[in-house]
Amino acid sequence: MTQRLFDENAYRFAFTAVVRGCEKTADDRYAVLLDGTCFFPEAGGQGADKGTLGGHPVLDVREVGDEIVHTLPAPLPVGSAVDGAVDRNCRFRRMQQHTGEHILSGLAHRFFGCENVGFHLGEDEVTMDFDRPLSDADMERLEEAANRCVWEDRPVRAWYPAPDELSDLTYRSKKELTGAVRIVEIEGVDRCACCAPHVARTGEVGAVSVLSYARYKGGMRLFIA
């Protein structure tokens, strides 16, 4: 099992870990297992972190069961200690974007009963789908409220509740979840199951902009940044 260091501290970008496994893949790359990692794997509509491991570029990061597999262009000796460095700018930008998406989704749920049924975090914008259409006035209200939340600099908490605590919580989730569930809460705005790193306060998002929106599959598709 790989220790998920990014869960403990989303702002930790450098780490040292022990190589637990290294196997050559069919495409002449190497799948590397560590005892712990700060690299967030591709999951939930968000791409894998970028950076270096043992001096080699990290080509991909995937979650396989309880393990996080790092794809490298060269092997690393099993049992050795290696340094890892996550691309700080890329990670923080994604943390801003993802937290901004939670703000908008949480407010849309509170104001209009919308469920977020689709999400993709790109390099420069976020695509999100709601299950019901909204008017121009609704969108204006949503964007204004989102930026007020940013301006108010509300705390953002991410944690794994104990089973008894989790059973008493109301939170958004796209699917039924079992086992340990990570909750991300924006005070007074949203509470959602999410595995990704987030900023610690909404003020770090900077601003939320709805770039465009359109009716989509009976609901609404938004492009935000």
Return the percentage of the chain with pLDDT > 90, whole number. 87
Element (H, E) at 64: strand 60-64
- Give residue-wise pLDDT tens across range 12-40: 999 999 999 999 999 999 999 999 999 99
At 179, the pLDDT band (50, 70, 90 cuts) reads confident
In sequence order, the 6+-apart residues with CB closer than 8 A to the CB of 192 are 102, 105, 106, 171, 172, 173, 183, 184, 185
Element (H, E) at 138: helix 136-151
148 Cα distance to chain centroid: 22
* Residue 149: DSSP 8-state: H
Mean pLDDT of the 128-145 span: 96
Query: For residues 40 and 177, which has the higher predicted lDDT (pLDDT)?
Result: 40
pLDDT at 177: 73
pLDDT at 89: 96
pLDDT at 175: 73
Element (H, E) at 22: strand 14-24
Mean pLDDT of the chain: 94
**φ/ψ (deg, to 5) at 116:** -80, 115
Mean pLDDT of the 147-161 span: 97
Residue 178 has pLDDT above 80, yes or no: no
**Which tokens sit at 152?**
């108010």
Residue 124 has pLDDT above 90, yes or no: no
Distance CA 92, CA 71 (A): 22
- Give residue-wise pLDDT tens across range 63-118: 998 999 999 999 999 999 999 999 999 999 999 999 999 999 999 999 999 999 99
pLDDT at 180: 86
C-alpha dihedral sign at 106, 193, 176, 50: positive
